């Protein structure tokens, strides 16, 4: 791709069900030049997140939807290639919401420098990025994790789930991961140190939860919703906390969301179900990143990225999330260094 | 009825849907005499509660189910007519779980004296009894009520709902009640001081909630579940607390419980949904009863009982709860003083 052209992917239509190629529009523009107080970022890696599906829908949510015709919103990491911003210099590596495009102009708001010597760039989109922050604050703050708790996490082999499970182990908990497929299940137990894994595609979920959580579930960290949330509700311990982080099983529904039929288990078990949005913890990201970087250095927290190459593959690559085809953080590589 | 005979109503079968007369067995026994450490209570008023429907089902819950052939469990208030218990004398009025029968033998555990001069006996089954305690701790403790909150309560004309709404008013909140029928709606506004009422039988629930809660719902106290819970979820304010006290709309289902489809509103609004069982607050009942009795004396907290007479009407009278036919606390009068 030419250095003078900025290839972009814009939202062309609000998807019904899984986003199709025709829901996207491929555009190209001249690479813009920064004005005063702006910087130009060459995007190197794009973060692909389940939440992107929600941003494509009309309606009130925790942030406004992406407008039709707008460049699709996405977190990304890149390199500053031009700057008239006092805080950023050419050559700096930065993370921010740069969108699904090759070059992004920014006023620096919400943009943070990262150090590629401390961790590979894609890690700043995963374990040291939003998914890691989500896991950290969701588990410790919303989930009120205590040592000795039995923790169950769904989407356990995903960007958030892998971090949730490992932090829970660091904090002295019993950890059971729910994932799809034998490979993912083996990986989270053998490589990440989970105590047990449940393959939701083949195992009897309720039976497996009973077996692996003999004292019940103290913290259930839910990334998926649907039947898995309902099964977890049947195995709660007294005073359990359910963290509602996401519901990837429901994001492409063309029928109404499946509500948790077993929610009255909250009453029987004096349990709570609480929603979270990671942005609320922005003023504590640095603190969390420091602690997590320390765990990574000490070999207690492993990070894995599932890297696909090429901006043009974005429409199909995004679907890997909803088909459960990624292991670890799904990242789209746009450019080398 | 003879003074030597104890008429009783026992659970004959586990109901499917609404309990039928054939699910009950009418028995009579000789009135028992207390042994050492026991007291004999003549039951005067029985408490009829939605929770009773749950006690009739098999399966794990917060207390064991009533066994087939056992006297149906019920809270009641009565008079001690014989005692070999050091703490209770003949003539004392007492509340306890005496069951659906005319006379109950007790070892005194869970039995408390009440003063009929301070409040009429049925009030000890309502506002100064379990429903009142449920409202008090559910709202203040589980719901973390703050002055200025917008509070919505379903089952607003029932034993718990009337107290929830009035306590919220005492604490300086805006209170919207959801009830069935124009009479109940007029009563909670005109007599109990609610700011607004929504008639779920005729009003457009979502629209009415938007209208009456322009800043969103801070605390939703749910007694009913089903579609009303789902509608409330669409109008939550940031940081809202939902107290799951009951789900009367679902107790007689012959199909699975309707889970709240809009539960992802918890995520968008960083809200929580928490279950409660009033028994957990037993060591604080006295404190709550003192404060509530004070409010009653001051005319700030009104109590209303819906009193039906005759043990033999129990099977039909209980159904008034599920048909929404009671206003205030439903009580069955078994005997005068």
Report the residue from B225, B230, B264 with minimal CB separation from A247.
Answer: B264
Does residue A260 come out as left (phi exceeding 0), alpha (psi in the -120 to 50 range) or beta? beta
Asked if B29 and B1 count as a contact pair (C-beta separation under 8 A), the reply is no
| A166 Cβ contact list (under 8 Å, min separation 6) | A192, A193, A295, A300, A301, A302
Q: Is the Cβ pair A271, B269 closer than 8 Å?
A: no
Does residue B31 come out as left (phi exceeding 0), alpha (psi in the -120 to 50 range) or beta? beta
Per the listing, tokens 């179900």 go with A273
Interface with B, mutate which of A50, A58, A251, A264 (most B CBs under 10 A): A264
Q: Where does chain B hold its CATH 3.90.180.10 domain(s)?
A: 5-125+305-333
Structure tokens at B198: 């929504």
ipTM of the complex: 0.93
Asked if the C-beta of B63 comes within 8 angstroms of chain A's C-beta atoms, the answer is no
Report the residue from B257, B266, B272 with minimal CB separation from A264.
Answer: B257
Question: Considering only CA atoms, which of B25, B326, B337 is closest in space to residue B156?
Answer: B326
Report the residue from B256, B274, B280 with minimal CB separation from A266.
Answer: B274
Q: Show the DSSP H helices in B56-171 as ranges.
A: 130-137, 159-170
Asked if A177 and A156 count as a contact pair (C-beta separation under 8 A), the reply is yes
Asked if the C-beta of A238 comes within 8 angstroms of chain B's C-beta atoms, the answer is no
Stretch A50-56: mean pLDDT, rounded?
Answer: 95
B258 chain-A contacts, CB cut-off 8 A: 259, 261
With a pLDDT cut of 70, the percent of chain A lying above it is 99
Give the integer Cα–Cα distance in Å for B75 and B130.
9
DSSP per residue over B225-257, as a string?
-HHHHHHHHTTEEEEEEEEE---GGGTT-SS--
Helix (H) or strand (E) holding A166: helix A159-170
Q: What's the confidence (pLDDT) of residue A3? A: 63
Biggest CA–CA distance in chain B, Å, is 63
What chain A residue is nearest to B64 in terms of C-alpha separation?
Answer: A268
Q: C-alpha angle with apex B120: B117 to B122, nearest 5 degrees?
A: 145
Asked if the C-beta of B239 comes within 8 angstroms of chain A's C-beta atoms, the answer is no
Report the residue from A258, A268, A272 with minimal CB separation from B273.
Answer: A272
Asked if the C-beta of A262 comes within 8 angstroms of chain B's C-beta atoms, the answer is yes
Q: Count CA atoms closer than 13 A to B277's CA, side-chain side.
A: 17
Q: What's the confidence (pLDDT) of residue B61? A: 86
Q: What is the mean pLDDT of each run of 10 residues along chain B (337 residues)?
A: 82 96 97 97 97 93 94 98 98 98 97 94 96 98 98 97 98 98 98 98 97 98 97 98 95 91 96 96 94 96 96 97 95 91
> Is the domain covering B130-279 a CATH 3.30.460.10 domain?
no
Report the residue from A267, A273, A280 with minimal CB separation from B272.
Answer: A273
Give the integer Cα–Cα distance in Å for B305 and B329.
5
Asked if the C-beta of A276 comes within 8 angstroms of chain B's C-beta atoms, the answer is yes
Q: What's the confidence (pLDDT) of residue A2? A: 47
Confidence at A102, pLDDT banded by 50, 70, 90: very high
Query: Crossing angle of helices A159-170/A130-137, nearest 10°?
Result: 40
Is residue B38 classed exposed, middle or buried when 0-12, 13-18 and 19+ CB atoms within 10 A define those classes? middle
Question: How many residues does this entry show for chain B?
Answer: 337
Asked if A259 and B262 count as a contact pair (C-beta separation under 8 A), the reply is yes
Q: Which one is predicted more confidently, A336 or B54? A: B54
Q: Is the Cβ pair B260, A256 closer than 8 Å?
A: no
B270 chain-A contacts, CB cut-off 8 A: 274-277, 280
Q: What's the confidence (pLDDT) of residue A193? A: 98
Q: What's the confidence (pLDDT) of residue B1? A: 43
Provide the CATH number for the domain formed by B5-125+305-333 in this structure.
3.90.180.10
Backbone angles phi, psi at B279, to 5 degrees: -55, -25
Q: Where does chain A hold its CATH 3.90.180.10 domain(s)?
A: 5-126+304-333
Structure tokens at B15: 């109901």
Q: Where does chain A hold its CATH 3.40.50.720 domain(s)?
A: 130-279
Give the integer Cα–Cα distance in Å for A72 and A101.
8
Distance, first Cα to last Cα, chain A: 15
Asked if B31 and B5 count as a contact pair (C-beta separation under 8 A), the reply is yes
Question: Considering only CA atoms, which of B63, B52, B98 is closest in space to residue B318?
Answer: B52
> Is the domain covering A5-126+304-333 a CATH 3.90.180.10 domain?
yes
C-alpha distances out from residue A68 to A78, A280, B50, Å: 25, 27, 50
C-alpha distances out from residue A116 to A95, A113, A128, B99, Å: 11, 10, 12, 71
B261 chain-A contacts, CB cut-off 8 A: 256-259
Asked if A266 and A241 count as a contact pair (C-beta separation under 8 A), the reply is no
Is residue A125 classed exposed, middle or buried when 0-12, 13-18 and 19+ CB atoms within 10 A define those classes? buried
Stretch A135-163: mean pLDDT, rounded?
Answer: 98
């Amino acid at each position: 791709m030419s250095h003078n052209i900025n290839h972009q992917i814009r939202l062309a239509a609000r998807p019904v069900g899984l986003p199709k190629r025709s829901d996207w529009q491929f555009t190209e523009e001249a690479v813009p030049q920064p004005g005063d107080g702006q910087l130009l970022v060459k995007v190197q890696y794009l973060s692909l997140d389940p939440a992107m599906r929600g941003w494509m829908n009309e309606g009130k949510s925790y942030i406004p939807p992406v407008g039709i015709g707008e460049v699709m919103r996405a977190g990304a990491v890149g390199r500053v290639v031009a700057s008239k911003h006092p805080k950023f210099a050419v050559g700096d590596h930065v993370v921010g919401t740069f969108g699904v495009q090759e070059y992004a102009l920014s006023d620096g708001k919400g943009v943070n420098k990262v150090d590629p010597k401390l961790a590979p760039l894609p890690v700043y989109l995963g374990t040291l990025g939003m998914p890691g922050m989500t896991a950290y604050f969701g588990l410790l703050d919303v989930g009120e994790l205590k040592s000795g708790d039995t923790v169950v996490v769904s989407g356990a082999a995903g960007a958030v789930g892998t971090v949730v499970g490992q932090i829970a182990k660091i904090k002295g908990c019993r950890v059971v991961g729910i994932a799809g497929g034998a490979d993912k299940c083996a990986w989270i137990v053998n490589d990440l140190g989970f105590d047990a894994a449940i393959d939701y595609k083949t195992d009897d979920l309720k039976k497996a939860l009973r077996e692996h959580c003999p004292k019940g579930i103290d913290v259930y960290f839910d990334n998926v919703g649907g039947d898995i949330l309902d099964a977890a509700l049947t195995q709660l311990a007294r005073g359990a906390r359910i963290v509602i982080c996401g519901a990837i099983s429901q994001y492409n529904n063309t029928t109404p969301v499946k509500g948790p039929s077993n929610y009255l288990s909250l009453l029987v078990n004096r349990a709570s179900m609480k929603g979270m949005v990671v942005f609320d913890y922005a003023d504590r990201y640095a603190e969390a990143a420091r602690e997590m970087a320390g765990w990574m250095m000490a070999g207690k927290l492993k990070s894995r990225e599932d890297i696909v190459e090429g901006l043009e593959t974005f429409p199909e690559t995004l679907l890997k999330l909803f088909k459960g085809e990624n292991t670890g953080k799904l990242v789209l590589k746009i450019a080398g260094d």
